[in-house]
Structure 1
């Protein structure tokens, strides 16, 4: 997989990224916090219409930072995938992955894919972990990737969305894989893909 350097910014998401404290999220927002010792890249998938999902990526989250994926998203449930940057562990170059429960379309550069349970040209299917769900109101959730390679999901209480909260099991199980050599980006099809990569901006700015 090519090294992921870009993230979703104002032009991609329609709203700026916000830096949070790890225990804070506004009502209806989905945020990601990185305590892992390497930069992570996040993709999410959520139901746009009944049985019709959209997948979007990538949000770059540096160690020690928290970002809202998109302040405009208001959904009742979501899936997420995380990939670390490649790093050395002993003599090997490795990368950590989170997400094994359900497969959605992704690619190495920024993307927004409709009918995301299918892989169009230039896309591939990859595992996502199940996030939080809510009924009646949009879900508010904070996904935290831990220093040891795990993850937790916190759903703040409705009356106190700025702190505290309850963990929503189960967390995603990380995977470690060797990092293959970077490859050129295959041309996307006109199918269900909206290419946003040329308009992306840096995440921690």
Structure 2
């Protein structure tokens, strides 16, 4: 087990320990999902005692909630031409899927865990819907519907490519994905 760094003050050691635990948890949740992840496996991966995981996060659900705290980091699309917005969003989501295992953990877990499903719903309603409202000029309800359709497209694609690993979807090259899925997202953004 990793020994605490005697040079760091206790608060900084605590932050470092939490960060190590969260990194290990994200990797575990992304790799095997919520059900198969255990506090012991996370602790082993973090090279700490399982009691430390419990101390900081209480239980597996608390650990998951902290590990699944996610920012879509939606780009400022003000300078993007209206007819290229769908492709820009798809390109951004490809970057996010391939750059951060937290979203993958949420996706794997949301289909079997109510807390994860609620977190995924909140993620898209709180982050995606306001962006869609700005881009489309729709009311809040209309933007929420558009955001839901876009979520169905990007989440469905991610499930097929990164979780189920369907060979024809995995084989698609990025330009084709951006072109094809981008056209669908574009229609969700602006079609009546």
- When the two structures are superposed, what TM-score results if normalisation uses the length of structure 1? 0.22
- Compare the two structures and name the one with the higher strand fraction: 1
Relative contact order (alpha carbons < 8 A, sep ≥ 6): 1 or 2 greater?
Answer: 1
| Bigger Rg over Cα | 2
**TM-score normalized with structure 2 length:** 0.23
